[in-house]
Amino acid sequence: MSVRFGVFVPQGWKMDLVEIADPVEQYEAMTAVARAADAGPWDSVWVYDHFHTVPEPTVNTTFECWTVTSTLARDTSRVNIGQMVGCNGYRQPSLYAKIASTVDVASNGRLYAGLGAGWYEHEWKAYGYEWKEVPQRMGEFREAVEIVHRMWTEERPVFQGRHYSIDGPINEPKGVRKPHPSFWLGGGGEKVTLKLVAQYADACNVGAGDPDLIRHKLGVLRAHCDKLGRDYDTIIKSTTLELNPAAPMSETAGRVERAVEAGADYVILYIPRVAYDHEPMLRFAQEVIPQFS
């Protein structure tokens, strides 16, 4: 099975730009990673949708997700650009659909539009968003996914839900990729998220590289697909791995292989310190990616 690979750019969220003082130079360091990926065998580059750093909020750079996505779309020419994943609570879903459609055009159809329910309570409250418990966030997420999909596929969609409503919005252009921008849903919730993947999504992201968890979550997804009549094989099954630059590439390749054996067909890497040193990313591209082509 052929496996595709993506890589996160250093956006600041994981304190991965703190050694660069000037914000312009920080942005250029992020862009340089995207351009290096664009020149190589990578399928995609990725960003997070967060406002504050982890593991705790600090007064340091975190570049905004959709601004980054749109600029990287113009700074690259080949790779897809995605979010892992956009936070539903930060944008009304019809606006999200409009933004994504615009960026899909700006990138000439290279957008991987990611969406999830959100979880980072501190930044919700700090930015003035109402923090809601899991049942409400998941209820909103369920409605949002349907709205986004309908905004991309219907001329004047109408939807009246418990949390959101739309009344015939015109969303033109809808994007470049057909039949609509590539829709990636993040999270492994078995009753809501994975069912939504089977209903609406082009891709999922599960398991955080853990083979047992990947296998289990994809089994749940397959069951949802069977019940809904969706072809399981048409869905991209991605997982994320953090690369240890000090580890032998053979060890990293083994981790990828175990994830693939569990059912993943797409691997997205986070590479610490890639803002300062591209060598581990380039070495992975040369030594590991060809093994799974």
Q: Two tokens at 35?
A: 């351009």
Please return the burial class of 133, using the count of CB atoms within 10 Å of its CB with bins 0-12, 13-18 and 19+.
Answer: exposed
Cβ-based neighbour number of residue 127 at 10 Å: 11
Question: Kind and range of the H or E element at 31?
Answer: helix 23-38
pTM: 0.96
Cis peptide before 179 (omega within 30 of 0): yes
Q: Based on the structure, what is the number of domains in the chain?
A: 1
pLDDT of res. 293:
85
Distance CA 183, CA 185 (A): 7
In degrees and rounded to multiples of 5, residue 99 shows phi and psi of -60, -50
Please return the burial class of 8, using the count of CB atoms within 10 Å of its CB with bins 0-12, 13-18 and 19+.
Answer: buried
Q: What CATH number is attached to the domain comprising 159?
A: 3.20.20.30
Q: What is the pLDDT of residues 156-212, one digit of tens each?
A: 999 999 999 999 999 999 999 999 999 999 999 999 999 999 999 999 999 999 999
Distance CA 15, CA 88 (A): 23
By the 8 A CB rule, do 117 and 194 touch?
A: no
State the residue range of the domain holding 41. 4-292
Q: Which residues of the chain have pLDDT under 70?
A: none
